[in-house]
Structure 1
Amino acid sequence: MSKPLAIVGIGASAGGLAALEQFFRNMPPDAGIAFVLITHMDPAQKGQLPEILRRFTRMPVLETEDGMKIEANTVYVKPAQYDLTIFHGIIGHLEPVRTGGLRMPIDSFFQHLAENQDGRAIGIVLSGTGSDGTLGIRAIKERAGMVMAEDPSSARFSGMPWSAITSGFVDYSAQPEELPDLLLRYLKFSVTTPTDEMLATARVEADLKQIFTLIRLHS
């Protein structure tokens, strides 16, 4: 096994299984990418999601363990009872944190991913209710990373992708089966280690995107 070309965080909730199926059926198993899947899963469903995802991909699908090293061409699934962090390619388990009474595991992991991967961080928001993921993708964009979201018209529950897109921080929006090709093309040409100047520019652009989005929503 080898170090991944990129670590891609995928956030999904209600209706996300159908989107995940279409995504992984169209993702080559040898692209050199590691995927970390963050869902709003009931603790009673422990172990079920990896088993289901193995039907859609030839990549190994593993439930994460504290201290697990991330390898290329592997799908990692967050256990229901923990949130995840990442440091130098190592997964860590965290006790869940609630923001305003709500648990936001996608935001949490995307923020850790942005801090540790800088311009190599990639976040994808799929079907789900609410807005989990929106704060996290801002963190990714502030570190010059890349963000994708499912086209809300194809999502069974459009809340999460719609919130992400209307934030102004999404680079690509498409149906789940189209996202892998966009991801591979992006990685072929665009992954770099950002300079301090690039990071400063990315933060300014993120602020401007949010301002323009707020103006558009209230005009």
Structure 2
Amino acid sequence: MPPPPSGTASEPYAVIAVAASAGGIHGLVTLLGGLDAELPVPVLVVQHLDPRHRTVLAEILGRRTELTVKLAEQDEEVRPGTVYVAPPDRHLLVGVDGTLTLSRSELVHFLRPSADLLFESVAGAYGPRAVAIVLTGTGNDGAMGVDAVKSRGGTVIAQDPHSAEFRGMPEAAMGTGAVDFVLPLEEIPAVVRGLVEMKRQ
């Protein structure tokens, strides 16, 4: 069994941050489709996208989940039950007051948006109240970020590489030693629901 997640019952989770790359649309549809509109926390998503094209990712995901899905906007305040997707070619960050920032700062591992930057901002803003999830993808984006989340007492979930279309990102996350749960894709929504509801009892 994995170790119990960090934090105490007096500190309910306040945010879920998700990273995906190649194969990620299927992963996100499965994850978000397993969560209902009463989800008591916001969800922040980095999916690596072609920066040259307008994205319809929010519309695609919105048709497959009861949650509200939208492209993140500068200075927007996050709300429970809403999914905020990083726009193409923008880093997505969140502050301690729950306000989003979109940044054109330097590429990280040749990427913008970067899962590492999202996870690091979530770790700084929410500490033990953060859940970070790494889904299918190539490369190692997210590995430094999950380390930051874990070091601040947050909880980290990685998709089981055997159930991932592309194993690079979940394997890199697992290589940090910071992952609490390694789960087949279909099991992740139930664990997320259990975590955010368990700490509210």
Q: Which of the five TM-score ranges fits, normalised by the shorter chain?
A: 0.7 to 0.9
Determine helix, strand or coil for the equivalent of 1:97: coil
Report whether the alignment pairs 1:166 with 2:175. yes
Determine helix, strand or coil for the equivalent of 2:119: helix
Equivalent positions of 1:201-216 (< 5 A) are: none
Equivalence for 1:27: 35
Contact 1:10-1:38 at 8 Å conserved across structures: yes
Determine helix, strand or coil for the equivalent of 1:31: coil
Per the TM alignment, residue 125 of structure 1 is displaced from its structure 2 partner at its CA by 0.2
- What is the rounded CA distance, in whole Å, between the counterparts of 1:163 and 1:121 in structure 2? 20
Aligned counterpart in structure 2 of residue 147 of structure 1, from 141, 156, 170: 156
Contact 1:20-1:176 at 8 Å conserved across structures: no
Equivalent positions of 1:124-139 (< 5 A) are: 124-139=133-148
- What is the rounded CA distance, in whole Å, between the counterparts of 2:181 and 2:199 in structure 1? 14
Structure possessing the higher radius of gyration over alpha carbons: 1
Identity of aligned residues (%): 33
- For residues 56-89 of structure 1, what are the alpha-carbon distances to aligned partners after superposition, in whole Å with 9 as ceiling and x for unaligned? 1121111011001100100110011210111110
Contact 2:158-2:170 at 8 Å conserved across structures: yes
Contact 1:36-1:75 at 8 Å conserved across structures: yes
Question: What amino acid is the match of 1:39?
Answer: Q
- What is the rounded CA distance, in whole Å, between the counterparts of 1:98 and 1:45 in structure 2? 18
Equivalence for 2:75: 67
Q: Which has the higher helix share?
A: 1
TM-score (normalizing by structure 1): 0.81
Structure 2 unaligned runs (5+)? Answer: 1-11
Aligned counterpart in structure 1 of residue 60 of structure 2, from 52, 65, 83: 52
- What is the rounded CA distance, in whole Å, between the counterparts of 1:32 and 1:156 in structure 2? 29
Equivalence for 2:94: 86
Report whether the alignment pairs 1:122 with 2:142. no
Task: Sort the Cα spacing of 1:126 and 1:158 in 2 relative to 1 into closer, same or farther, 3 A.
Answer: same
- What is the rounded CA distance, in whole Å, between the counterparts of 1:5 and 1:25 in structure 2? 20
Question: What amino acid is the match of 2:24?
Answer: G
Contact 2:123-2:152 at 8 Å conserved across structures: yes
- For residues 87-124 of structure 1, what are the alpha-carbon distances to aligned partners after superposition, in whole Å with 9 as ceiling and x for unaligned? 1100011113234x622610011001100111111110
Structure 1 unaligned runs (5+)? Answer: 192-219
Per the TM alignment, residue 45 of structure 1 is displaced from its structure 2 partner at its CA by 3.2
Over the aligned positions, Cα root-mean-square deviation in angstroms equals 1.7
Equivalence for 1:215: none
TM-score (normalizing by structure 2): 0.87
Determine helix, strand or coil for the equivalent of 2:22: coil
- What is the rounded CA distance, in whole Å, between the counterparts of 2:139 and 2:151 in structure 1? 22
Contact 2:37-2:68 at 8 Å conserved across structures: no
Determine helix, strand or coil for the equivalent of 1:103: coil
Contact 2:127-2:149 at 8 Å conserved across structures: yes
- For residues 97-154 of structure 1, what are the alpha-carbon distances to aligned partners after superposition, in whole Å with 9 as ceiling and x for unaligned? 234x622610011001100111111110000000000000000011000000111001
Equivalence for 2:119: 110
Contact 2:92-2:103 at 8 Å conserved across structures: yes
Equivalence for 2:20: 12
